[in-house]
Structure 1
Amino acid sequence: MAFTNVLVAYDGSEPSRNALKHALGMAEASGEVRVHVVHIFQLPQYFLGDAFSTASPQVNQEVYEYAQQIEQHAREQVSFLGDRAAVELLQGPPGQAVIQYAEQHKCDLIIIGSRGLSGLREFVLGSVSHYVVQSAKVPVLVMKS
């Protein structure tokens, strides 16, 4: 099966860098492959019992600026593909955002790292890659470091 519309979930971690390298290799091997790269960030939210709080504007700004840096790095990596590449910065729950983007852009393959930068959150809430594998309607390639 030849894939032509590939989505890479990119967070700057080593597994996501491997995912992007693999997608770029596919694009270099075939002029038919279009690569979509998404970086999804979430602004911090805190739950204490039934109470909910958001982070300070300064913390939110730092999170957003860091996300922009990751997005820019991805843009640099795919720039040689010209109009066969798209890079998007999205906000929201990462797994859901990946699935939604893939459906909206009719991606036929999702490539994602096995573990990203989520640490304890991944342990407590379940991994993004696991969610994507379970929820995607298209094949998912999970890259390890």
Structure 2
Amino acid sequence: MKILVPVDGSEAALDAVRHAVHLHRNGLQASFVLVTVQEPTYVYEMLLAPDAEALERVTGAVGALALEGALAMFLAAAISVEREIGSGDPAQTLIEMVGRHGCDAIIIGARGRGALRSALLGSVSQAVLHAAVVPVTIVKHVAT
């Protein structure tokens, strides 16, 4: 079994990583793909950047930062992971990553917004849940 674990650097995303590590420690035989998706570059960013390579470096650096905490958690648990930094619409890109990596499931964090706010603003975890062709576990963030 291969499980996609998307992160964005938030505490809610780290809750999903904690859940994945917990499942692995309790006997789940799975490999993990740790991913993050950066928003697409906007026209004004392209105009201000010295070149396309500079934009790519910045996107990569921001993506690496988003992966950093989650990667440390997997490595501390002695779990090796594949990694990918994507760019584009987050939900759609995550669905594409599932197919590209041959994942069997997704574990994703939720920010815990209320139903009304999620309905008005949309939610990556909700969009992934509806578009995915594999099982999705949404780990709700509980503030302590």
Counterpart position of 1:76? 72
1:13 matched to 2:32? The reply is no
- Comparing 60-69 with 101-110, which one deviates more in the overlay? 60-69
Contact 2:40-2:89 within 8 A present in 1 as well: no
Contact 2:14-2:69 within 8 A present in 1 as well: no
- Distance in 1, matches of 2:72 and 2:102, equals 24
2:92 aligned to which of 90, 96, 102: 96
Structure 2: unaligned runs, 5 residues or longer: 113-117
- Distance in 2, matches of 1:87 and 1:75, equals 9
Percent identity between the aligned chains? 28
- Distance in 2, matches of 1:104 and 1:21, equals 24
| Structure 1 position 76, deviation (Å) | 1.8
Q: How does 1:1-145 map to 2 (within 5 A)?
A: 4-30=1-27, 32-45=29-42, 53-55=43-45, 56-57=48-49, 60=55, 62=58, 64-79=60-75, 80-82=78-80, 85-115=81-111, 126-145=122-141
1:49-68 deviations in Å (ceiling 9; x for gaps): xxxx3323289565542322
Contact 2:38-2:63 within 8 A present in 1 as well: yes
- Distance in 1, matches of 2:39 and 2:29, equals 33
| Structure 1 position 14, deviation (Å) | 1.5
Q: TM-score, normalised by structure 1?
A: 0.74
Contact 1:15-1:113 within 8 A present in 2 as well: yes
Contact 1:7-1:107 within 8 A present in 2 as well: yes
CA RMSD across the alignment:
2.6
1:134 is matched by which residue type in structure 2? Answer: H
Counterpart position of 2:115? none
1:93-132 deviations in Å (ceiling 9; x for gaps): 110111111122221211111139xxxxx88762111110
- Structure 1 residue ranges, 4+ long, deviating more than 6 angstroms after superposition: none
3-state SS, counterpart of residue 107 of structure 2: strand
Structure 1: unaligned runs, 5 residues or longer: 46-52, 117-121
